[in-house]
């Protein structure tokens, strides 16, 4: 517009700005997870734009799984609880393909303690070495067979007071508890996969030998604005399960 000589005029479409405003409201908790956000018409009036512009903004939020549209009912803040798909971020499936067969996972929390971030944990969580973190270790079993061993690191400042009892008692996805108890909503994640051999401890916990290859899954989960809020190192047994991925 101004004819400035800047290399990037930073043109931003209206709907992107609206999307930003809605995102801000989501982030500030104006609407709780699972609740409906205002109708498209209401939002259009609030932001003084047409319904179509709001629609396009919400379309993108829905594509990013931040929000869920339900025709005839409204648009709802996405939640890890009571979502059709339990364990949204877990891609390990039984080889049979039928998740119902094996039923829900049995969880056993082995440990949950306060500590200080090591260099690599600090890097993953965008903290400084020595910052307080909470570390937990647990096992997930399917049909009685221990299948996943997970070590979890959380920034201490955001999860004050988290205890093993907390993690053990809550039914449903851990990420749902994070939403309810700490107001932390995991929005996306990145995983790095490797094939590894377990050490003696890990092997014992998963009831395999130290010669059994396991799938190592390092996950960093992010909340809004790409802020990392969890580091999770998982060891998956892949003798009866596999990690499934879709490419397009």
Partner DNA sequence: GAGTGGTCTAGACCACGCG
Partner DNA sequence: GCGTGGTCTAGACCACTCA
User: Under the rule (CB under 7 A), what is the footprint of DNA?
Assistant: 1, 9, 11, 13-16, 36-37, 39-42, 49-53, 55-56, 69-75
Bridge partners of 188, per DSSP, are 222
Residue 127 CA from chain centroid, whole number: 19
Place of tokens 């798909």: 85
Which of 158, 189 has the CB closer to a second copy?
A: 189
8 Å CB contact between 148 and 184: no
**18-65-69 Cα angle (round to 5):** 75
Long-range Cβ contact pairs of 118-121 (< 8 A, separation 24 or more):
121/153, 121/231
Closer Cβ to DNA, 49 or 126, answer by number: 49
91 binds a second copy (CB under 8 A): yes
The b-or-e profile of 88-115 (16+ CB within 10 A means b, else e) is bebbbebeeeeeeebeebebebeebeee
Among 12, 50, 65, 209, binds a second copy (CB under 8 A): 65
Residue 243 touches which of a second copy, DNA, none (Cβ within 5-8 Å per kind) = a second copy
Size of the site for a second copy (CB under 8 A): 32
Contact between 233 and a second copy (CB under 8 A)?
A: no
Task: For DNA, give the closer residue by CB, 24 or 96.
Answer: 24
Residue (4 or 63) nearer to a second copy, CB: 63
Q: Which residue stretch of 2-10, 83-91, 145-153, 165-173 sits at the interface with a second copy (rule: CB under 8 A)?
A: 83-91
> What residue has token string 């039984």?
94
**Token representation of residue 186:** 């995991």
Nearest CA to 67 out of 112, 130, 22 is that of 22
Contact pattern for a second copy over residues 122 through 141, marking x by CB under 8 A? --------------------
Q: How many residues does the chain have?
A: 248
The C-alpha angle with vertex 125 and arms to 166 and 79, in degrees rounded to 5, equals 50
Q: Does residue 96 interact with a second copy by CB under 8 A?
A: no
Binders of a second copy among residues 187 to 206 (CB under 8 A) are: 187-197
8 binds a second copy (CB under 8 A): no
Smallest gap from residue 115 Cβ to a second copy (A): 26
Closest separation between CB of residue 233 and DNA, Å?
Answer: 38
- Write out the H or E segment, with its range, that includes residue 165: helix 164-169
Part of the chain binding a second copy (CB under 8 A), chosen from 11-19, 36-44, 61-69, 106-114:
61-69
Task: Report the interface residues with a second copy, using CB under 8 A.
Answer: 63-65, 88-89, 91, 187-197, 211, 213-216, 219, 236, 238, 242-248
């Amino acid at each position: 517009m101004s004819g400035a000589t800047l290399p990037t005029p930073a043109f931003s479409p209206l709907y992107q700005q609206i999307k930003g405003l809605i995102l801000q409201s989501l982030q500030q908790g104006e609407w709780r997870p699972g609740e409906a956000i205002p109708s498209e018409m209401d939002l259009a009036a609030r932001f003084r734009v047409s319904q179509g512009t709001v629609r396009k903004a919400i379309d993108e939020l829905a594509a990013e799984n931040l929000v869920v549209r339900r025709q005839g009912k409204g648009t709802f803040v996405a939640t890890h609880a009571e979502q059709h798909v339990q364990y949204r971020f877990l891609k390990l499936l039984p080889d049979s393909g039928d998740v119902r067969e094996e039923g829900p996972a049995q969880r056993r929390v082995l440990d949950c303690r306060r500590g200080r971030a090591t260099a690599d944990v600090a890097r993953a969580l965008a903290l400084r070495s020595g910052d307080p973190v909470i570390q937990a270790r647990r096992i997930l079993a399917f049909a009685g067979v221990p299948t996943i061993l997970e070590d979890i690191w959380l920034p201490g400042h955001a999860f004050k007071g988290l205890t093993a009892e907390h993690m053990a008692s809550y039914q449903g996805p851990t990420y749902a508890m994070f939403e309810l108890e700490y107001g932390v909503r995991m929005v996306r994640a990145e995983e790095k996969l490797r094939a590894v051999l377990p050490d003696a401890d890990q092997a014992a916990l998963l009831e395999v030998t130290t010669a059994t290859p396991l799938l190592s899954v390092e996950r960093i989960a992010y909340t809004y604005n790409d802020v990392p809020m969890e580091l999770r190192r998982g060891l998956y047994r892949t003798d009866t399960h596999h990690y499934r991925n879709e490419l397009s």
